[in-house]
Amino acid sequence: MSKEILMVAEAVSNEKGVDRGIIFEAIEQALAMATKKRYEEGANIRVQIDRETGDYESFRWWDVVADDELAELGTQFTTEEALEKDPTLKVGDVFEEPVENIAFGRIAAQTAKQVIVQRVKDAERNLIIDRFRHRVGELLNGTVKKVTRDHIVVDFGDNAEGLLPREELVGREIFRVNDRTRVILTAIREENRGPQLLVSRAAPEMLIKLFEIEVPEIAEGVIEIKGAARDPGQRAKIAVRSKDARIDPVGACVGMRGARVQAVSNDLDDERVDIVLWDDNPAQLVINAMAPAEVESIVVDEDSNSMDVAVNEDNLAQAIGKGGQNVRLASELTGWIINVMTLEEAAEKQQTESSSIVETIMNALDVDEDVAMVLVEEGFTSIEEVAYVPLEEMSAIECFDEDIAEELRGRAKDALLTMALASEEQLTKTEPAEDLLTMEGMDQTLAYKLTAKNIITMEDLAEQAIDDLMDIDDMDEERAAALIMTARAPWFE
């Protein structure tokens, strides 16, 4: 039997390319399962095989539990039962004793075979995962192994298979068994059975990797791909820049007579690819990304991370693209929200916004329309900008001298102070809830400070983090933590 075990371990290890230790563990598990069937009640069985000789020993073990617990028959001892076996045993210990070995016969061999097959599959899956773990984001070549309604299974050789969902295909691609294809490895599933590698042809990384293959300057690092956006199978945009001023990055990616970009397009079901010149200036980058549409004017709003792009009316459809495709891809590529409009709409919007700003400045600074218009035309869009602009900058405005500039700045600061006081007064009108006022560790002053932060009830306080309270005067981390935990006490009750 010992020689037979060694022969099984050696044969399966060589055939499957799995470590002999895994095979021995599977046989030990099979022998333990067969031995356990001897006992009518539950039993904990452990089998240990000598890796050199193939000899094995079997042991049965019990957990020791407290006397007031209900011990499981066959697998646990109470302290009283354990002391009869060994006076040194205590709760939490394990008592073990050798039992008669079961023969490595037909039943044990059959069980071992089932366990080994599963363990071999698990080991093979782990080997595949380890082999591909560092290759996420790489382009892989494979052969279509299976086609279903929902997905395609791609074979990469050596038992490695990738799952290509239908939604990750490009356009109207049709694959048949044994077709060759290229895919991008997007993720690895470690918990599920079946194909462990998730692959895609629709991911932007696929486009980038294909350009790296077709354009040597990208592979060499002379040209850098800064981003890509795709509407798979229809249109894509890719932003590039050159680290060498002598090399045109757009021309290099297009290739002689468009050969390089056409090669990429052919691999992606004739997906049309726009190559955009990268620019560190966000406005210029958006202008480049909107190509082939010509941008007439652009207004940047950094607060909302958006840009208003104005084009001629006869160019509007091209700027937006079919179904908004062009502007959507440009927005995805640049990371900015792009609002496309005609020159007339842009002028009307600017006029409306300017009128609103003029009215705000007139009311806040108590000046006439002409003064407010001058400030708006000079680029002032808020009272804060008027209040804190350098004096020399404002006095340099035509028709303004230093006295006028100083007066306007003073009025702006007074207006800001008035608005702040009004806001604070509005906040103080809100009364803290009774449970917040009477909470342990709370005082009235602190309760009103919390109310000013819209923390009105104990429940509101319980939902805060320590950092949320650190801007309150005389507050430290220890007190903030104590208050929050007190407010959370009802949760635990």
Tokens 């949320």 locate to 468
C-alpha–C-alpha distance, residues 132 and 146, integer Å? 21
Would you state the pLDDT for residue 149? 86
C-alpha–C-alpha distance, residues 19 and 51, integer Å? 12
Nearest residue to 197 (alpha-carbon basis) of 132, 146, 246, 279: 132
Q: Is 454 left (phi over 0), alpha (psi -120 to 50) or beta?
A: left
How far is CA 4 from its chain centroid?
A: 51
Higher-pLDDT residue of 300 and 396 is 300
pLDDT digits (tens, 9 = 90+) for 21-31: 877 888 888 88
**Does 111 score more than 70 pLDDT?**
no
pLDDT digits (tens, 9 = 90+) for 423-436: 665 555 677 888 88
How confident is the prediction for the chain on average, in pLDDT? 83
Q: Provide the percentage of residues in the chain whose pLDDT is more than 90.
A: 13
Write down the H helix ranges in 170-303: 204-214, 216-219, 249-254, 259-267, 282-289
How far is CA 405 from its chain centroid?
A: 50
Higher-pLDDT residue of 395 and 36 is 36
Would you state the pLDDT for residue 28? 84
Would you state the pLDDT for residue 428? 56
Domains and CATH numbers, the chain: 2-127 (3.30.1480.10), 136-202 (2.40.50.140), 211-278 (3.30.300.20), 434-492 (1.10.150.20)
Would you state the pLDDT for residue 108? 59
Which positions ≥6 away from 358 have C-beta within 8 Å? 369, 372, 373, 376
What would the mean pLDDT of 130-142 be, rounded to a whole number? 85
How far is CA 313 from its chain centroid?
A: 39
C-alpha–C-alpha distance, residues 56 and 50, integer Å? 6
User: Which amino acid, residue 268?
Assistant: L
Would you state the pLDDT for residue 229? 92
How far is CA 31 from its chain centroid?
A: 45
What would the mean pLDDT of 154-179 be, rounded to a whole number? 86
**Does 239 score more than 90 pLDDT?**
yes
**Does 350 score more than 80 pLDDT?**
no
Would you state the pLDDT for residue 4? 73
C-alpha–C-alpha distance, residues 418 and 198, integer Å? 60
Identify the band that residue 441 occupies on the pLDDT scale cut at 50, 70 and 90: confident
pLDDT digits (tens, 9 = 90+) for 273-299: 999 999 999 999 999 999 888 888 888
What would the mean pLDDT of 237-246 be, rounded to a whole number? 90
Whether the ω angle into residue 292 lies within 30 degrees of 0, i.e. cis, is: yes
Backbone Cα Rg of the chain? 37
Strands lying side by side in the sheet with 223-231 = 223-231, 235-242, 272-277
C-alpha–C-alpha distance, residues 397 and 395, integer Å? 5
Comparing 150-159, 397-406, 446-455, which segment has the lowest mean pLDDT?
A: 397-406
- Burial class, 224, CB count within 10 angstroms (exposed 0-12 / middle 13-18 / buried 19+): middle
Would you state the pLDDT for residue 107? 62
Other C-beta atoms closer than 10 Å to the C-beta of 178 total 9
Would you state the pLDDT for residue 299? 84
pTM above 0.75, yes or no: no
C-alpha–C-alpha distance, residues 218 and 211, integer Å? 7
**371's tokens:** 């003064």
pLDDT digits (tens, 9 = 90+) for 191-209: 666 557 889 998 999 999 9
Tokens 């995805």 locate to 332
What would the mean pLDDT of 462-477 be, rounded to a whole number? 86
pLDDT digits (tens, 9 = 90+) for 352-369: 777 777 788 887 777 888
